[in-house]
Amino acid sequence: MRLRNKPWAKEYIEDNCDLVIPNPQQYKGKWNELFGNDHPIHIEVGTGKGQFIIGMAEQNPTINYIGIELFESVIVEALKKLKETNLENVRLLNINANDLTEIFSKNEINCVYLNFSDPWPKSRHEKRRLTYASFLKKYEEILVEEGEIHFKTDNQGLFEYSLKSFSQYGLLLKFLSLDLHNSDFEGNVMTEYEEKFSAKGQPIFRVEAKYQNVK
Ligand code: SAM
């Protein structure tokens, strides 16, 4: 993700605190109260400029979506897009995924989306990959029993690594595709990165991985 310095970003985020939630720790265990309903909550970790989360929310009005993004200068682009809609089932968090368990309780989240996560190809950076075991543990700590991770990427190395990591962790792999756009998967919402890479002819890899009761 190319980062541009946007001096206005901080203030713009603060001015929209109904959509980019400040101090999200205060809602731990109470996110349904914030949304004002008991609908399931899905999160996207590394939401980028927000096209996926907004598209998913338009497609599924009875699911609540939370987009999580580390950088202010990136999340403001998602915020701008969100403000052009009347969606009530999306919120954004400007936080690091390392802090997920401080923000959500066990059983609070039904699904985690990881889309085109940074590959961190050097092995000394393995721990930063969002499919590394310590992240899988964090997701497990906030997901419902048999909660799911839906992961897509154009990066074959990261995909292979992630399948291994999911499987070593004991996740059940489902709906594996090595060419999502030429598969029978329905209802795909493209991310910004997905549009860019698929326009260059690169296949998109996708998998759904489910936590199991017995480990
Ligand atoms: N998902 C978007 C897409 O497919 O267009 C963006 C993909 S971009 C390669 C990865 C995004 O994940 C970046 O915006 C980055 O800032 C964010 N990110 C990476 N590590 C993160 C972390 N630990 N917590 C929150 N966001 C993170």
Give the pLDDT confidence score for residue 3 in this predicted structure.
61
Return the CATH number at 54: 3.40.50.150
Mark 6-25 as b/e (b = at least 16 C-beta within 10 Å): eeebeebbeebeebbbeebe
Q: Which residues form the domain of 105?
A: 24-210
19 belongs to a structural domain = no
Domain count, the chain: 1
**11 in a structural domain:** no
| pLDDT the model gives residue 1 | 55
Looking only at the bridges linking them, the beta strands covering 41-45 and 109-115 are parallel
Q: Which of 53, 69, 131 to mutate to test the pocket of ligand 1 (most atoms within 8 A of CB)?
A: 69
Low-confidence stretches of the chain (pLDDT beneath 50):
none
**How high is the pLDDT of residue 94?**
97
> In this structure, what DSSP letter does residue 201 have?
T
Interval between CA 130 and ligand 1 midpoint (Å): 9
Whether 4 is in a domain gets the answer: no
CA 82 / ligand 1 centre spacing (Å): 17
Q: Is residue 136 part of a domain?
A: yes
7: in domain: no
pTM given for the model: 0.96
- Would residue 12 count as lying in a domain? no
Instruction: Give the model's pLDDT for residue 213.
Output: 76
Enumerate residues 6+ apart whose C-beta is below 8 A from 185. Answer: 175, 177, 206
- DSSP tag of 90: E
> Look-up: residue for tokens 């919402």?
189
Domain membership of residue 41 (yes or no) is: yes
- The burial class, CB within 10 Å (0-12 / 13-18 / 19+), for 102 is exposed
Residue 101 annotated as part of some ligand binding site:
no
Q: How far is CA 66 from the centre of its chain?
A: 8
Does a structural domain hold residue 106?
A: yes
